[in-house]
Structures are given as C-alpha cells and as structure tokens.
Chains A and B, each alone.
Chain A
C-alpha cells in the first residue's frame, strides 16, 4: 500500500490542540480511532510511546515521525497532525515540531511499512512542501498538497 493511499482527510488533524509530546501522541492515535482505523487505542499508543522512550522521532526542520509495529493493526495506518505554533517534541535540532506523521504497521507486513516510512523521509527533505503542509489550514489542503488531483 502506497503512502498516498493512506492520505485521506479523516486521518488529518489541524490544528493539534495538545501542548506536549505525550498529548500529541494520544491525539494522533485518537485520530485513527475516530476514523475507524484502529480498535485498540491503548495497544497502538503503547507501541509508539515505547519507541519515543528510546529516542525521539522528532527530526529537524519541525517534522516528527512517530511509528511502531503492533498486531493491533492488520494493515498500515497513517495519521497526520499539524501544530501551527510548534510543540516541544525533543527534536534533533531542538526546534519546535509542527508536522507529525504517525505510522503504525502490522508486524507481518514490514515491507510496506518500511516503504511508507521511506516515503515520509523523502518528503521531509523537501523544505518547500513541509512548509506548505505545516501552513495548511484544512485537512483537505494537506491531502491536496500531497496528491495531484
């Protein structure tokens, strides 16, 4: 499954209301739950929180990629969040994080999971696109920016 297949308005939240790291993770997992993408909120939250406990997935230039694998999902799931004012996510460059891509995959479908994460990594290298995404005001704008429709 391509990353773009997962990008639908229902999995995008703008703006994120949380002001701290754990709140953002809960909010993003809740996006998946509310969109009907996951059933077990706690299992999904646990796997992404465990990964964050090892080292923050906050990269440079205001992007974070929380991720994990859990049998609680049968297929790869993506949630996107935008925090226009930025949140302290313990990022590598110490700057506030504005753009969040949460990816959770099934342990027996690692290939598509890795591919989707690599797609996000390439996306993160485009400062222009990341600025545009971080400045988006609606969920539909995020979808529009990533797709060609």
Chain B
C-alpha cells in the first residue's frame, strides 16, 4: 500500500500562524518519513493591484517587492533551521505572483499529498474580497489540506520532538 503521505507542503507567509503550521508540518514529516516542502509566495499580484489602485507609488512597488523577497528568504531560512533542528530536510519553494494560484501550482509540481496551512481567521465576512490567500488556496488545492490550530500545543509538540 502506498503511504498516505509522501510529500507535505507547508505554506508560510511570515505570520505567526504560518510558523506554527511549519512546526506542525515538521513534526508530521519527522514522524511519517514524508518529504517536506516549505513554500513562500511573493505576492506581486497584490502589489500590482495596489499600484493600479494608486495606493502605491512606483518606488513603493519596488521597495515592497524587495522587502517581500527578503522576507521570503528569511522565513524559508527560519523554517529550514526549525526543520534541521529536528533532523528534517526541507525543499524550498519560492514563487511570485498570485498567492493562491502559485500555491496550487506548487502542489501540482511537487506532487504534494498534504498541504499544511496555519490557522485561518475566525472572523467571517459577508464579502468575498476578504477571503485570505490561504483560504483561497485551501479551497483550490487538489490535495488534502490540514489547518493547524492551537499554537501552544503545537509548540510543545515541536519542542518535545526528538
């Protein structure tokens, strides 16, 4: 029988819930022997949208994209370090564009069995505009999706992992 989970992908965006998601994914990968992909998408679509809406100036667009690229490196390195401490290697996936679309493409490209995302906002809106990118990815992903909750519990689990 094929192992139910051979490759996990965790989506990180620099938020605390996404780091908690990464800790959980590291535990899962360690215990299941699955490969782990850490994915960060530089949201250039949103930046372009802000330029079109005239909220951003051209030099702001450049500055924010540069900062997001730096964030991507920093958080992928951070999750790589978290994983290495537990003897887990990560495959780095850094993309640019529309976050939820790029996540789905990365899932397909890496033949991912399980997408892990951090806790979503508990606040609902009557407006579709406020769906988060993680929520959009969760709906569009072609694989199973795990939403990680309870930061304290996950942190304890991660720390106790040999």
Interface size counted on chain B using CB atoms at 8 A: 31
Known interface pairs A117-B50, A118-B50, A121-B49. Does A108 touch B55 (Cβ–Cβ under 8 Å)?
A: no
By beta carbon, the residue of chain B nearest A101 is B55
B2 interface contact, C-beta 8 A: no
User: Could you tell me if B46 and A115 are in contact, using CB atoms closer than 8 angstroms?
Assistant: yes
Interface pair A114/B50, CB less than 8 Å apart: yes
Q: In chain B between 69 and 90, which residues have their CB closer than 8 angstroms to a CB of chain A?
A: 71, 74
A124 to chain B, nearest CB (A): 7
Interface residues on A, range: 35 or more
Main secondary structure of the interface of B (DSSP, over half): loop
| Cβ contact within 8 Å between B54 and A92 | yes
Interface segment among B102-110, B127-135, B137-145, B150-158: the answer is B127-135
A31 to B106, CA, bound (A): 41
- Could you tell me the distance in whole angstroms from the C-beta of A108 to the nearest C-beta in chain B? 6
Annotate A122-144 by CB proximity to B: 1 below 8 A, 0 otherwise: 11101001000000000000000
A-B contact pairs, 19 of them (CB 8 A): A2-B130, A3-B130, A4-B121, A4-B125, A59-B55, A67-B55, A108-B14, A109-B15, A111-B13, A114-B43, A114-B68, A115-B43, A117-B50, A118-B50, A119-B129, A122-B129, A126-B127, A146-B125, A147-B123
> Interface residues, chain A, CB within 8 Å of chain B?
1-5, 7, 51, 54-55, 57, 59, 65, 67, 69, 92, 107-115, 117-124, 126, 129, 146-149
Give B residues with C-beta under 8 Å from A. 13-15, 42-43, 46-47, 49-50, 53-57, 60, 64, 67-68, 71, 74, 120-121, 123-127, 129-130, 132-133
